[in-house]
Structure 1
Amino acid sequence: MTAPAGAEPQNDSPRSRGRLRHWLAGAGVATLAAVLGITLAVRGGATPACAAPPSGNTVHKGKASFYDAGRSGGNCSFPGPPADRLYVALGASQYAGSAACGSYLQVTGPKGTVRVMVMDHCGGCGTSKIDLSTEAFTKIADRSQGIASVTYRAVVNPPLTGGLTFRLKGGASRYWFAVQVGNHGNPLRSVEAKGASGGFRKAARQSDNYWTIDGGIGPGPFTITVTDGYGHQATATGIKLVTKQVQRTSVPLVSPATPSSSPSPPAPPSPSVSPSASPAPTATVEALAGPAPLGSPRC
């Protein structure tokens, strides 16, 4: 079952607390600090030290189960599942604190192959287990199996319709910037933003797939630069301070001219996903060729 990333249950019995107090009584300050750091990391559901989303040409072998997220956008906080309902949840080491959100995997099972978007964190999945949507699982295995042996790999520069999307989180304001980037295809490396005045500031990735800047960057409109793990970069302008609405752009992060990438022609701007909301403004985007691919994490 897929569940939000969270802390493991702790043994907090009186006996355990007594043992801990007794042990700490004879410990030095450095040891105490180390113990407290470990405890905070466990309780906070920290991302594993070597966590990284699937990327490049690496083929992973493992098992796949299936689940139904309903109308939810999963731990990636998307407005909802993709229209084709082909999505996947990854374990902590590959979900990587939301770094995998919005990227795509090609999964092959006994019956065939399917392309799925990373939308969720699977709390019960280890390094070799993935949790597919029911619709995706039935394309690669018989549902009666429950669990199937699979291989999967990242889809590099997946063809997508339309350009980048931006969605400001509820509560975002001139004093606290929080944006979600969508329709990017490859795992994102960084997001930088600036307001009508001042320079770019680097945003911090959060586990719910929002990028935040404490203190805010003013009332907008905003200019946002997005860089993926392979070095592709795009800069969008004209993003308004409107929360909970999808603001669409017209140019993909990965240019159609980029080798191994063949995105569909950009779709025209469309309204927010909320039927009652006013149409979101269209941003101007410049797609740039970037540096070498992002390397493996150092452990």
Structure 2
Amino acid sequence: MTIYPHKSLIKRPVAFLLTILLLTSPVVSADNSVISSAATKLTLSASSVTMRVGKQKTVKLTGSFASFKTTASKAGIVLILSDANKIRIRGLKKGSVKIKVDGYNKNNKLKVSKTITVKVKKSLVDISDEYSIDRIHTGEATYYDLGDEEGSACLNSFAESNGYLTAAMQAEDFLQGMAGAYIEVTDKDGDVVNVLVTDLLPAGKKGDIDLTREAFKSIEPLVTGRMDISWRIIPLPTFDPVNFVWKSGSSKYWAQIQVRNHRYPIRSLEYLDTTDDTFKELTRECYNYFTAPDGLGCDGPYTFRITDFYGRSIIEEDIPMKSGGKVIRGKDNFPIIEEKTGVH
């Protein structure tokens, strides 16, 4: 079982197993399994759950197990957070997955196994309305120390090289496609900081933002710790075109590609299938890469159509496949939208 804190959640996205343990029980074993009582019975409140992308369901555990571990049959479909007697499951993308729950006795021997079948359906959120350029969102802000990882959106190095402050966004918002969004955060006194969304905040409630230490202290003393905020989407302050970065190992048989430097959040990425001259949508991963599981059909160069939250598309042609994380410069970007702020 792989365990990541939220700041480095996607440090190794290909091996991406989103199992996060909130260690709230009185005692924790050396391998971070959750310690409870001392026998070997384990009962689940539900053996199957269905949810939408971004939403969360809770399965309660009862019995007298000493510890338990959770393992997902597929990576990237759900985010799992566990404490002494609850398993909280959040949908990351459309799909089905089985979660194995193993119960152990006090000698750490496996004694009982249960399975939770999870189906994640497509989100019903109308993102063009929910995240319109005029909509103001509210929540709470905290802060964290930025490490040397790339963050859940694999964008921290991009942000650093362009001088952008960064933040983690609560999962219900982040998973709607907000990775790489640029937002304006305002505190109760009207102080403002602009940040790029580069990470996922697995806890908290919708609307919450976890600012980096530097971003937080630019508008509020760190001693505050937590504060009420509002935030809204604003255009990324760039005059450059969008960029592309291919995932290591990409080929005409399997590929992952990321779009960077987009002025507004991205709704979809499609590639032009030259066999029938139609655009085919790529699957977006929760770590902010788009996947072609069977490749793109040829060695390239490729044509992509990028659509933002507001239904506007740009077409980028002659994009070569380059290895080693090399940045490929496009030719266009989304035009700036005239703003007229409203109330969430």
Fold agreement, TM-score > 0.5: yes
Matches for 1:197-276 after TM superposition, within 5 Å? 198-199=276-277, 200-217=279-296, 218-243=298-323, 244-252=325-333, 254-255=334-335, 259-260=338-339
When residues 237 and 69 of structure 1 are mapped into structure 2, their CA distance, relative to the original with a 3 A threshold, is same
**Structure 1 or 2: more helix by fraction:** 1
SS of equivalent residue, structure 1 residue 61: strand
Residue identity opposite 2:183 in structure 1: L
Could you say which residue in structure 2 is the equivalent of 1:103?
Answer: 181
Q: Which stretch of structure 1 is more off in the superposition, 51-60 or 63-72?
A: 51-60
Match for residue 117 of structure 1 among 196, 205, 208: 196
Could you say which residue in structure 1 is the equivalent of 2:102?
Answer: none
Residue identity opposite 2:152 in structure 1: N
Q: Which stretch of structure 1 is more off in the superposition, 199-208 or 80-89?
A: 80-89
TM-superposed deviation, 1:216: 0.8
Is 1:133 the counterpart of 2:212 in the alignment?
Answer: yes
TM-superposed deviation, 1:35: 5.2
1:279-299 deviation line (CA, Å, top 9, x unaligned): xxxxxxxxxxxxxxxxxxxxx
5+ unaligned residues in a row in structure 1: which ranges? 24-30, 262-299
Q: Which stretch of structure 1 is more off in the superposition, 134-143 or 43-52?
A: 43-52
CA distance in 1, matches of 2:295, 2:149: 28
CA distance in 2, matches of 1:42, 1:103: 21
1:195-229 deviation line (CA, Å, top 9, x unaligned): 66553221011111011112111211111110001
**Superposition TM-score, scaled by structure 2 size:** 0.62
5+ unaligned residues in a row in structure 2: which ranges? 11-17, 22-32, 52-56, 60-71, 73-77, 81-88, 93-119
Q: Which stretch of structure 1 is more off in the superposition, 157-166 or 46-55?
A: 46-55
SS of equivalent residue, structure 1 residue 74: coil
SS of equivalent residue, structure 1 residue 140: coil
Could you say which residue in structure 1 is the equivalent of 2:226?
Answer: 147
Matches for 1:73-88 after TM superposition, within 5 Å? 73-78=150-155, 80-82=157-159, 83-88=162-167
Is 1:59 the counterpart of 2:136 in the alignment?
Answer: yes
Matched length: 247
Residue identity opposite 2:281 in structure 1: K
Could you say which residue in structure 1 is the equivalent of 2:170?
Answer: 91
Q: Which stretch of structure 1 is more off in the superposition, 219-228 or 82-91?
A: 82-91
What's the % identity of the aligned pairs? 25
CA distance in 1, matches of 2:79, 2:194: 33
CA distance in 2, matches of 1:88, 1:79: 10
Could you say which residue in structure 1 is the equivalent of 2:241?
Answer: 163
When residues 35 and 15 of structure 1 are mapped into structure 2, their CA distance, relative to the original with a 3 A threshold, is farther
TM-superposed deviation, 1:79: 6.0
TM-superposed deviation, 1:144: 2.3
TM-superposed deviation, 1:64: 0.9
Query: Is the CA contact (8 Å cut-off) linking 2:316 and 2:332 kept in structure 1?
Result: no
